[in-house]
């Protein structure tokens, strides 16, 4: 077998280097490709490294079984799909090869000379370098069109970020293929132009430097700096702890030294890092559960310094033109697991951010204050951070919602950006229709952002928010051009409501958990058209249990009841584009949603709502039955009003608090008031 998608076939994947990250890269490939019988080969010149890499993967699989993430037979198949060998000849039929060896140019040249000799002519050859530009790595390659950097992040089998760094010779079709391929196998790829360190490492290593300088200057201990920086920037772990976990001291030492001349003079390896690398010891960071004492004054002083460095570095990277603000924010969020810089600047005010950067630059010679930050502060406007993206494929616009950390959940930014993009599509004479989809493979849209819902204080505010969201969906529904929803993953709550506003819905085949209106679990009713469009699309009898029980249905069930039009086993976007064209030509005729009243059956099925709130259920039933007697427009206004009434109940507070505290798997203890 083989993996064939997006115009290419992968029969085998090769990873060269069985050191710190190579086995993890190989594991991720095996996890995603073993079902296609695509073997993953790990090559290294040292038998000891191969044995260590194999044991590392075996241990991770054992833990996955122990934690019930995988069944033993699945884990065994994933592990047995991997080959650890010293034989480069095993790459003779590999269609994708990634080098993950030492950061030395002569080593990389030697490896790729061997790949050039052994691998097929059409194979993609990539380097997992963390700093070096592709022009240097692939300098001696005869065919540079198939070469680029693919930079993974620790731990490579779980961290979803990858930076794709082409050079001018890289074939654009190779880059586009890899963008689609990596998204399909669960990564969040971003394109980055060639520059030393790319987009993310200057932040990772620069924040370490900023923290290390506070220690070197005697302002804080390593432990204090670690916990203060972690808290101030919303990091998963502090910068010193991160370096211990990733074994990153030598790489950061070298990277900071090179960035000094290649990015800005402030970057340099601090003395305490040089000493630590020389000793080979890890940093003395806080133990699990250890409380590190520090004063409020120390926290304020360190946090302001580090934020100044963070914002300044981020603006320098954006100004360099190697990435864009949307990709960069996502990369920091999911790759480094910390509060993204431009969102932070918007929260505190861009003017205040400039003050912090100016202050840091005055105290740190060689630190650059980017012109774009000065201009943004002068404008008085926040940074505009895109989370919805438009890409035109000929006469069809592809609109993609991308918030991978929250499974593309809807918030105010998503709604407003959708409004802006679809208004532009409506006015664009070159565009005949659109495809609406979500990023990744797990979710089209997982629902409304829980933080946005929980922040609503009054029935009037909740009603207004519903009407605002409904106005965006009404725009999509009445665009005057077909909009096909390509449902790449589950569609819960607002996700299903958004899909129902589209002209047609197609979905990735075989989704066991696909569509749900889970609002009653939160102590609310649907607030973006669920009680009105679902009964109109599939009939009240079928919609009744879906709305009242909050239970999900599969993609096969959704197709059976007519909620979606087709399940797709191949390239979902290409099929959706074809649907747009066929609808425009009249070849496909999709009946519009009924805009007037709909019949109410004389009797409706009995529904066991279990632990769910009877108070909320009564409001939901009113929305469905009274709305059915109205026009769709009137029914939507009724739903918004009744959603607002939920805020007057005790059960909404209970449902929201339970979800925020315990997540979706713990049932709320409703009191039915």
Catalytic residue ranges: 497, 519
Q: Can you tell me the distance from the alpha carbon of 547 to that of 59, in angstroms, rounded to the nearest whole number?
A: 44
Judge whether 149 and 131 are in contact, CB under 8 Å.
no
Please choose, from the candidates 384, 473, 386, the residue with its C-alpha nearest in 3D space to the C-alpha of residue 436: 473
Judge whether 137 and 127 are in contact, CB under 8 Å.
yes
**Is the dihedral angle over the CA atoms 400, 401, 404, 409 positive or is it negative?**
negative
Helix, strand, or coil (residue 141): coil
Please choose, from the candidates 569, 520, 566, 516, the residue with its C-alpha nearest in 3D space to the C-alpha of residue 543: 516
595 Cβ contact list (under 8 Å, min separation 6): 631, 632, 633
Q: Can you tell me the distance from the alpha carbon of 396 to that of 452, in angstroms, rounded to the nearest whole number?
A: 32
Tokens of residue 447, six digits: 């629902």
303 CB-contact burial (10 Å; exposed 0-12 / middle 13-18 / buried 19+): middle
Helix, strand, or coil (residue 611): coil
Please choose, from the candidates 207, 190, 415, the residue with its C-alpha nearest in 3D space to the C-alpha of residue 305: 207
Judge whether 406 and 452 are in contact, CB under 8 Å.
no
3-state secondary structure 232-268: HCCCCCCHHHHHHHHCCHHHHHHHHHHHHHHCCCCCC
56 CB-contact burial (10 Å; exposed 0-12 / middle 13-18 / buried 19+): middle
Strand partners, 392: 397
Helix, strand, or coil (residue 34): helix
Please choose, from the candidates 131, 305, 295, 286, the residue with its C-alpha nearest in 3D space to the C-alpha of residue 210: 305
Q: Can you tell me the distance from the alpha carbon of 522 to that of 451, in angstroms, rounded to the nearest whole number?
A: 12
Name the pairing type of β-strands 515-516 and 433-438: unpaired
Residue 146 C-alpha from the chain's centroid = 26
Residue whose entry in the numeric block shows the structure tokens 């009037």: 460
3-state secondary structure 456-506: CCCHHHHHHHHHHHHHHHHHHHCCCCCEEEEECCEEECHHHHHHHCCCEEE
291 Cβ contact list (under 8 Å, min separation 6): none
587 Cβ contact list (under 8 Å, min separation 6): none
């Amino acid at each position: 077998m083989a993996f064939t998608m997006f115009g290419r076939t992968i029969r085998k994947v090769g990873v060269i280097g069985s050191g710190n990250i190579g086995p993890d890269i190989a594991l991720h490939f095996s996890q995603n490709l073993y079902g296609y019988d695509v073997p993953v080969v790990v090559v290294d010149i040292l038998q000891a490294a191969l044995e260590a890499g194999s044991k590392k993967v075996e241990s991770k699989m054992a833990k996955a079984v122990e934690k019930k993430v995988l069944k033993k037979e699945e884990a065994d198949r994933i592990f047995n799909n991997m080959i650890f060998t010293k034989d480069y000849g095993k790459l003779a039929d590999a269609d994708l090869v990634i080098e993950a060896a030492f950061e030395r140019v002569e080593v990389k040249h030697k490896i790729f000379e061997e790949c050039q000799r052994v691998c097929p002519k059409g194979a993609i050859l990539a380097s997992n370098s963390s700093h070096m530009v592709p022009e240097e790595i692939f300098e001696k390659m005869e065919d540079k069109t198939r070469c680029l950097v693919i930079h993974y992040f620790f731990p490579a089998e779980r961290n979803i970020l990858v930076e794709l760094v082409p050079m001018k010779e890289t074939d654009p079709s190779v880059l586009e293929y890899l963008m689609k391929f990596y998204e399909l196998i669960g990564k969040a790829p971003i394109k980055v132009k060639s520059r030393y360190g790319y987009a993310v490492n200057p932040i990772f290593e620069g924040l370490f430097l900023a923290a290390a300088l506070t220690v070197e200057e005697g302002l804080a201990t390593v432990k204090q700096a670690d916990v203060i920086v972690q808290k101030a920037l919303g990091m998963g772990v502090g910068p010193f702890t991160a370096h211990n976990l990733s074994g990153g001291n030598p790489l950061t030492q070298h990277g900071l030294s090179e960035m000094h001349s290649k990015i800005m003079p402030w970057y340099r390896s601090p003395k305490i890092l040089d000493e630590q690398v020389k000793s080979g010891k890890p940093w003395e960071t806080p133990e699990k559960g250890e409380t590190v004492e520090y004063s409020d004054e120390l926290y304020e002083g360190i946090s302001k310094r580090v934020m100044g460095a963070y914002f300044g570095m981020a603006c320098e990277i954006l100004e360099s033109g190697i990435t864009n603000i949307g990709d960069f924010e996502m990369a920091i969020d999911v790759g480094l697991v910390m509060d993204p810089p431009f969102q932070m600047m918007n929260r505190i005010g861009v003017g205040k951010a400039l003050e912090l950067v100016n202050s840091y630059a005055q105290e740190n010679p060689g630190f650059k204050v980017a012109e774009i930050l000065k201009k943004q502060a002068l404008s008085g406007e926040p940074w505009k951070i895109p989370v919805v993206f438009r890409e035109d494929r000929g006469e069809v616009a592809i609109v993609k919602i991308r918030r991978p950390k929250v499974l593309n959940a809807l918030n105010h930014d998503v709604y407003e950006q959708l409004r802006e993009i679809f208004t532009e599509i409506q006015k664009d004479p070159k565009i005949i229709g659109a495809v609406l989809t979500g990023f990744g493979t797990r979710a089209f849209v997982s629902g409304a952002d829980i933080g946005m819902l929980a922040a609503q204080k009054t029935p009037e505010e909740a009603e207004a928010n519903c009407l605002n969201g409904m106005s965006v969906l009404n725009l999509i529904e009445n665009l005057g051009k077909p909009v096909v929803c390509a449902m790449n993953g589950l569609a819960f709550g607002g996700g299903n409501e958004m899909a129902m506003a589209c002209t047609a819905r197609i979905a990735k085949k075989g989704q066991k958990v696909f569509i749900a209106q889970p609002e009653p679990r939160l102590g609310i009713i649907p607030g973006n058209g669920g009680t009105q469009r679902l009964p109109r699309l599939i009939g009240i009898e079928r919609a009744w249990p879906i709305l009242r029980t909050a239970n999900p249905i599969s993609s096969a069930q959704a197709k059976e009841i007519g909620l979606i039009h087709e399940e797709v086993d191949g390239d979902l976007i290409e099929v959706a584009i074809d649907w747009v064209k066929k609808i425009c030509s009249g070849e496909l005729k999709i009946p519009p949603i009924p805009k007037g009243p709909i019949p109410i059956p004389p009797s409706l099925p009995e529904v066991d709502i279990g632990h769910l709130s009877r108070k909320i259920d009564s409001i939901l039933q009113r929305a469905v039955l009274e709305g059915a007697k109205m026009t769709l427009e009137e029914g939507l206004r009724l739903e918004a009003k009744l959603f607002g009434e939920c805020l007057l109940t005790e059960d909404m507070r209970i449902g929201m608090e339970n979800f925020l505290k315990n997540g979706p798997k713990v049932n709320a203890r409703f009191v039915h008031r």
